[in-house]
Amino acid sequence: MQQPIAILDSGVGGLTVAKEVMRQLPQEKLIYFGDTARTPYGSRPAQEVGLFTRQIIDFLMQYKPKMIVIACNTATAVALEESKQRLNIPVIGVVHPGARAAIKSTRKNVVGVIGTEGTIKSGAYERALKQISPSINVISLACPTLVPLVESGLFKDSQVTATVAEALKPLLSIELDCLILGCTHYPFLMKPMKAVVGPNVRLISSADETAREISTILYHRSQLAHTADAPVHQFFSSGDAQKFHDIAVDWLGEEMKQQTIVWQTAAVGE
Ligand code: DGL
């Protein structure tokens, strides 16, 4: 039986990473957990986010994954190192891939980062960026209003651009050429964000670089899937299953048509 790649997030945000993995590694089986019953994580204390992450990982480990992908910046910031030490399979997060993509992209040596309160407060991006390029200037901003907008499914409404503009306002007067979407929910808002920041600022999602990292690690471990059969993915959510399903199907679009997904609900930590 094929061992899956396990992906987790506080809700639908990790689907931005899952979609990219489906595109780059179409033979891989995914097992996804979105903790929609307890989202958002961004305003919760670090200790609680750490506990929730552990609970989800323990749930996912039942399915014997070959790798864990913490597709949530907030959880990556507080729980990546501990999870790496606790498990004997590769565990990756989304902060370093996002930082790498930004360093590749910036020409002005000034990088903006937006994320949840937890991610920004942790300083994880600043550390990751300066580890790669010590002279980089980092401007960080917490945008707590954006995740609830995505989880509500109302991110295509006409008022969305106004909410995004309000959230990004402090950054608009700063000379940036690239802005890291330091929350996996934010690519859902790519269109209004582009309209707000204008054509001179590149928006960096960590999804693409994270999928590439997964591919590289599995290749080096000789663990890439080789099968003639299309994988059957399992997607779990802990809250409103219908809402999760509708947002996921809409987001996955074309990728979805070539995939078989079994949708389930599961509660963890009760
Ligand atoms: N998508 C998550 C992140 O990347 C968490 C959002 C939240 O639950 O606040 O940080």
Q: Which of 183, 196, 201, 207 is catalytic?
A: 183
Quick count: other Cβ atoms within 10 Å of Cβ 109? 11
Per-residue model confidence (pLDDT) at position 233? 96
Measured between its terminal Cα atoms, the distance across the chain in Å is 30
Q: Is the bond leading into 144 cis (omega within 30 degrees of zero)?
A: no
183: annotated active-site residue: yes
pLDDT mean over 104-132: 96
72: annotated active-site residue: yes
Eight-state DSSP code of residue 179: E
Structural domains in the chain, CATH included, are 5-93+208-265 (3.40.50.1860), 95-206 (3.40.50.1860)
Q: What is the per-residue pLDDT across 24-81, written as a single tens digit (0 to 9) for each? A: 999 999 999 999 999 999 999 999 999 999 999 999 999 999 999 999 999 999 999 9
Per-residue model confidence (pLDDT) at position 170? 96
Q: Is the separation of the CB atoms in 96 and 104 below 8 Å?
A: no
Q: What is the per-residue pLDDT across 120-141, written as a single tens digit (0 to 9) for each? A: 999 999 999 999 999 999 999 9
Question: What residue ranges line ligand 1, CB within 6 angstroms?
Answer: 9-11, 13, 39-42, 72-74, 116, 119, 147, 183-185
pLDDT mean over 165-185: 95
The pick from 184, 189, 238, 244 for probing ligand 1's pocket by mutation, whose C-beta has the most ligand atoms within 8 angstroms, reads 184
Q: Which of 72, 94, 124, 204 is catalytic?
A: 72
User: b/e map of 23-41 (b: 16 or more CB within 10 Å)?
Assistant: eebeebbbbbbbbbbbbbb
